[in-house]
Amino acid sequence: MLKDHAKIIHAIAASEEIIGRKKLQKMVYIAKKLEFPFQERFQFHFYGPYSEELTLRVEELCNMGFLNEVKEKKGGYYQYRYTLTESGKEFLSLNEQVSMPKLQDCMSDMNSQNARFLELVSTILYFDNLPKEDVQEKVFTLKSKQRYTEEEVGTAYQYIKSLKGKAGH
Amino acid sequence: MAYPVEKLREEKVFKDPVHRYIHVRDRIIWDLIGTKEFQRLRRIKQLGTTYLTFHGAEHSRFNHSLGVYEITRRIADDVFHERPEWNEDDRLLSLCAALLHDLGHGPFSHSFEKVFDLDHEYFTRAIILGETEVNKVLLTVSNDFPIKVAEVIAKTSKNKLVVSLISSQIDADRMDYLQRDAYFTGVSYGHFDMERILRVMQPGEDQVVFRKSGMHAVEDYIMSRYQMYWQVYFHPVTRSAEVILTKILHRAKDLHKQDYCFKSDPHHFHSMFNGAITLEDYIKLDEAIVLYYFQMWQEEEDLILRDLCRRFMNRNLFKYAEFDPAKEYKKLAQLSILFQKAGIDPEYYLVVDSSSDLPYDFYRPGEEEERLPIHLLMKNGEIRELSRESEIVDAISGKRRTDHKLYYPADVLKDNSTAKEIKEEIRKLLEIDESRY
pLDDT of residue B399: 64
Domain ranges of chain A: 3-167
CB contact (8 A) between residue B156 and residue A56:
no
Selected for mutation to probe chain A from B205, B369, B405 (highest A CB count within 10 Å) is B369
Predicted complex ipTM: 0.88
Query: Do B143 and B122 lie in a common domain?
Result: yes
Q: SS3 string of chain B?
A: CCHHHCEEEEEEEEEECCCEEEEEEEHHHHHHHCCHHHHHHHHCECCHHHHHCCCCCCCEHHHHHHHHHHHHHHHHHHHCCCCCCCCCCHHHHHHHHHHHCCCCCCCCHHHHHHHHCCCHHHHHHHHHHCCCHHHHHHHCCCCCHHHHHHHHHHCCCCCHHHHHHHCCCCCHHHHHHHHHHHHHHCCCCCCCCHHHHHHHEEECCCCEEEEHHHHHHHHHHHHHHHHHHHHHHCCHHHHHHHHHHHHHHHHHHHHHHCCCCCCCCCHHHHHHHCCCCCHHHHHHCCHHHHHHHHHHHHHCCCHHHHHHHHHHHCCCCCEEEECCHHHHHHHHHHHHHHHHHCCCCHHHHCEEEEHHHCCCCCCCCCHHHCCCCCEEECCCCCEEEHHHHCHHHHHHHCCCCCCEEEEECHHHHHCCCCCHHHHHHHHHHCCCCHHHC
- Does B329 contact chain A (CB < 8 Å)? yes
pLDDT of residue A99: 75
Residue B156 within any structural domain of the chain: yes
Tens-place pLDDT, residues B176-205:
999 999 999 999 988 899 999 999 999 988
* Chain B residues touching A44 at Cβ < 8 A: 154-156
Structural domains in chain B (count): 2
* Chain B residues touching A138 at Cβ < 8 A: 156
pLDDT of residue B3: 61
Query: Do B288 and B183 lie in a common domain?
Result: no
Q: Is-contact B406 B243, C-beta < 8 A? A: no
Percent of chain B topping pLDDT 70: 95
Mean pLDDT, range B283-310, rounded to an integer: 97
pLDDT of residue B362: 67
Task: Cite the beta strand spans of chain A per DSSP E.
Answer: 17-19, 43-45, 48-50, 67-74, 77-84
pLDDT of residue B189: 85
Query: Do B57 and B191 lie in a common domain?
Result: yes
Instruction: Say what angle helices A3-15 and A86-94 make with each other, to 10 degrees.
Output: 120
Euclidean distance between CA atoms B305 and B303, whole angstroms: 6
CA distance, residue A104 to nearest chain B CA (Å)? 25
Query: Do B221 and B240 lie in a common domain?
Result: no
Residue B409 within any structural domain of the chain: yes
Mean pLDDT, range B286-309, rounded to an integer: 97
Q: State which of B200, B234, B268 marks the end of a domain.
A: B234
pLDDT of residue B358: 66
pLDDT of residue B373: 85
Tens-place pLDDT, residues B249-260:
999 999 999 999
Mean pLDDT, range B254-270, rounded to an integer: 94
CA distance, residue A2 to nearest chain B CA (Å)? 7
Smallest Cβ distance to A50: which of B359, B371, B404?
B371
Tens-place pLDDT, residues B19-61:
999 999 999 999 999 999 999 999 999 999 999 999 999 999 9
pLDDT of residue B169: 87
- Does B434 contact chain A (CB < 8 Å)? no
Residue A109 CA to its chain's centroid (Å): 11
pLDDT of residue B400: 61
Tens-place pLDDT, residues A50-104:
998 898 899 899 989 999 999 888 776 778 999 999 999 988 888 766 678 899 9
pLDDT of residue B366: 61
Smallest Cβ distance to A47: which of B355, B364, B369?
B369
Query: Do B26 and B132 lie in a common domain?
Result: yes
Euclidean distance between CA atoms B432 and A129, whole angstroms: 52
CA distance, residue A78 to nearest chain B CA (Å)? 6
A144: closest chain B residue by CA: B158
What is the SS3 assignment for A19? strand
Instruction: State the CATH number of the domain containing residue B326.
Output: 1.20.1250.30
pLDDT of residue B330: 85
Tens-place pLDDT, residues B97-143:
999 999 999 999 888 998 998 999 999 999 999 999 999 999 999 99
**In this predicted model, which residue has the larger pLDDT, B95 or B372?**
B95
CB contact (8 A) between residue B355 and residue A55:
no
Euclidean distance between CA atoms A68 and A20, whole angstroms: 13
Residue B364 within any structural domain of the chain: no
Mean pLDDT, range B310-319, rounded to an integer: 98
Mean pLDDT, range B52-78, rounded to an integer: 97
Query: Do B26 and B171 lie in a common domain?
Result: yes
Residue B377 within any structural domain of the chain: no
pLDDT of residue A140: 93
Is the pLDDT at A116 greater than 80, yes or no?
yes
pLDDT category, B424, cuts 50, 70, 90? Answer: very high
Is the pLDDT at B239 greater than 80, yes or no?
yes
Work out how many CB contacts closer than 8 A connect A with B. 95
Single out the residue of B103, B90, B88 nearest to residue B44, CA to CA: B103
Query: Which domain does B428 fall in, by range?
Result: 236-357+402-436
Is the pLDDT at B369 greater than 70, yes or no?
no
Residue B395 within any structural domain of the chain: no
Query: Do B281 and B197 lie in a common domain?
Result: no
* Chain B residues touching A66 at Cβ < 8 A: 326
CB contact (8 A) between residue B329 and residue A46:
no
CB contact (8 A) between residue B325 and residue A2:
yes
pLDDT of residue A56: 87
Q: State which of B219, B234, B249 marks the end of a domain.
A: B234
Query: Do B8 and B115 lie in a common domain?
Result: yes
Positive or negative, the CA dihedral B340, B344, B345, B347 is negative
pLDDT category, B437, cuts 50, 70, 90? Answer: low
Q: State which of B234, B260, B292 marks the end of a domain.
A: B234
Is the pLDDT at B1 greater than 60, yes or no?
no
Selected for mutation to probe chain B from A18, A52, A114 (highest B CB count within 10 Å) is A52
Burial class (CB in 10 A: 0-12, 13-18, 19+), A155: middle
* Chain B residues touching A52 at Cβ < 8 A: 359, 361
pLDDT of residue A9: 94
Tens-place pLDDT, residues A3-61:
889 999 999 999 999 999 999 999 999 999 999 999 999 988 877 899 988 988 998 99
Query: Do B271 and B198 lie in a common domain?
Result: no
Instruction: State the CATH number of the domain containing residue B37.
Output: 1.10.3210.10
- Does B428 contact chain A (CB < 8 Å)? no
Query: Do B229 and B285 lie in a common domain?
Result: no
Is the pLDDT at B153 greater than 90, yes or no?
yes
Is the pLDDT at B226 greater than 80, yes or no?
yes
pLDDT of residue A73: 81
B363: closest chain A residue by CA: A52
| Mean pLDDT over the full length of chain B | 92
pLDDT of residue B435: 65
Burial B135-160 (b: 16+ CB within 10 A, else e): bebbeebeeebbebbbbbbbbbbebb
CA distance, residue B185 to nearest chain A CA (Å)? 25
